[in-house]
């Protein structure tokens, strides 16, 4: 049998989109109160996740996707600064 006996087989119980949505919902209460605070926390957590991916230790693809989704939501909600809004 050789290598065949050492293969790891995996099975998904949920769809990836459902897992990401669930993880995002679970993380949402812990990321801050204001939009600025949320963006700062999510940016830091995404940097940590990218570092883990590069090192190959402690990386969670589902968490990474959920953090990215939450950051995109925060950025979509926060109004973009308008050029004419600057005073000076």
For residue 82, the Cα-to-chain-centroid distance in whole angstroms is 28
CA pair distance 56, 38, nearest whole angstrom: 26
The DSSP code for 57 is: S
Q: Is it the case that residue 88 has pLDDT exceeding 50? A: no
What integer best gives the mean pLDDT of the chain?
A: 84
| Helix-helix angle 61-77:35-55, to 10 degrees | 150
Please give the pLDDT value at position 37.
94
pLDDT tier at 3, thresholds 50, 70, 90: low
The reported pLDDT for the residue numbered 13 is 76
């Amino acid at each position: 049998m050789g290598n065949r006996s050492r293969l790891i087989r995996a099975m998904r119980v949920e769809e990836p989109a459902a897992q990401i949505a669930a993880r995002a919902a679970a993380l949402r209460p812990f990321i801050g109160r204001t939009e600025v605070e949320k963006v700062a926390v999510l940016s830091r957590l995404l940097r940590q996740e990218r570092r883990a991916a590069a090192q190959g230790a402690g990386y969670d693809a589902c968490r990474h996707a959920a953090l990215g989704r939450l950051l995109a939501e925060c950025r979509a909600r926060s109004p973009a600064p308008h050029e004419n809004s600057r005073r000076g």
